[in-house]
Amino acid sequence: MTRTAIVTGAARGIGAATARRLAADGHAVAVVDLDESQAGATAAAIEAGGGRAVAIGADVSDADAVAAAVARAADELGAPTILVNNAGILRDNLLFKMAEADWDQVIAVHLRGAFLMSRAVQAHQVDAGWGRIVNLSSTSALGNRGQANYAAAKAGLQGLTKTLAIELGRYGVTANAVAPGFIETDMTRATAERMGVPFEAFLAGAAKEIPVGRVGQPDDIAAAVSFFCSEGAGFVSGQVLYVAGGPRG
Ligand code: NAI
């Protein structure tokens, strides 16, 4: 069945791969991102492949922008009943050097953003008596040096996911989290740059630590998100799936 999906942070990386995958699964996709022009490129690629998509520029941490984005997705594509909260940023630093703004921004985009988007979209899901929410957590939720803000946000998303599953289950809505390990995107490229390591060497070093012997690609995550969004996953809710090329969690 064709649904309308909203994927946040879908201008590039994991979000863009997820938007393309959900379109290939037959859904219309609202490509939401701070970067509206790059979101337009993701939407254009979906349309070029025969799918339906619209690009919407919005900051997920801004309640008015979220309300407007969800309303526009509903107007242009139909009531959104699939939501993937993927938008994210890094502001890594050791605790003693971490500025308050770095803490606040990371919490705002990941946690407040997922809260605002979920609150806006659930109205459509409850009306439809069907819905899927997938939140992007991370292996960093288990703790990671230099990421007090990000680890707290990603662990927080797991608590949010489980609570959404409990509150919304009776309306036919499931909520799950995908927690990626190392994925080759601009986010990990920026980490390599910050550490002064060439990206290729950074990738090779990471791959050595991963049981399947390679780093992850955005499509690896999109495949897991696609499962949680499928009709067949209706009895799977409140789960956290680590997609990291080996056991975690
Ligand atoms: P990325 O940095 O390549 O893309 C993130 C996208 O989010 C960008 O297009 C950016 O413009 C958008 N964005 C940032 N702030 C926003 C805001 N306030 N409102 C709307 N859009 C905003 O990141 P990547 O690697 O694709 O990551 C996607 C998600 O997966 C993030 O939540 C990240 O934390 C998570 N993740 C990534 C991992 C990795 O190894 N790349 C590992 C574990 C989790």
- Which atom of ligand 1 is closest in space to residue 85's alpha carbon? 32
Pocket of ligand 1 contains residue 225 by CB under 6 Å? no
Residue 145, burial from CB neighbour count under 10 angstroms (0-12, 13-18, 19+): exposed
CATH number of 4-181+218-243: 3.40.50.720
pLDDT of residue 147: 98
150 an active-site residue? yes
Question: Residues 6, 22: contact at Cβ < 8 Å?
Answer: no
- Residue 89 Cβ inside 6 Å of ligand 1? The answer reads yes
pLDDT tens track for 28-79? 999 999 999 999 999 999 999 999 999 999 999 999 999 999 999 999 999 9
Listed by start position, the domains of the chain span 4-181+218-243, 183-215
Q: What is the mean predicted confidence (pLDDT) over 86-109?
A: 98
Strand order in the sheet with 240-243: 53-57, 28-33, 4-8, 80-85, 131-136, 173-180, 240-243
Catalytic residue among 115, 150, 202, 242: 150
Between residues 191 and 249, the one the model is more confident about: 191
Q: Is 57 in the pocket of ligand 1 (CB under 6 A)?
A: no
Is ligand 1 within 6 A of the CB of residue 111?
A: no
The 10s digit of each residue's pLDDT in 191-236 is 999 999 999 999 999 999 999 999 999 999 999 999 999 999 999 9
Measured over the CA atoms of residue 64, residue 66, residue 67 and residue 68, the dihedral's sign is positive
pLDDT at 195: 95
Confidence of residue 170 (pLDDT cuts 50, 70, 90): very high
Q: What pLDDT score was predicted for residue 192?
A: 98
Mean predicted lDDT score pLDDT of the chain: 98
pLDDT for 156: 99
Ligand 1 atom with least separation from CA of 12: 9
Which of 126, 38, 139 lies closest to 83, judged by CA?
126
Residue 101 pLDDT:
98
Counting residues of the chain whose pLDDT is more than 90, the rounded percentage is 99
Question: Candidates 185, 189, 194, 241: which one to mutate for ligand 1, based on the most atoms within 8 Å of Cβ?
Answer: 185
Q: Whose CA is nearest to atom 1 of ligand 1?
A: 187
- Say what the pLDDT of residue 80 is: 99
% of the chain at pLDDT higher than 70 = 100
Distances (CA, A) of 163 to 115, 173, 222, 225: 11, 12, 23, 19
State residue 176's pLDDT score: 99
Ligand 1 in reach of 80 Cβ (< 6 A): no
CA distance linking residue 135 with residue 160, whole number of Å: 9
Average pLDDT (87-109) is 98
Positive or negative, the CA dihedral 158, 70, 46, 184 is negative
Best mutation site among 7, 8, 14, 42 for ligand 1, i.e. most ligand atoms within 8 A of its Cβ? 14
Q: Measured from the CB, is residue 33 less than 6 Å from ligand 1? A: yes
- Name the pTM for this structure: 0.99
Nearest-angstrom CA–CA distance, 85 and 133? 8
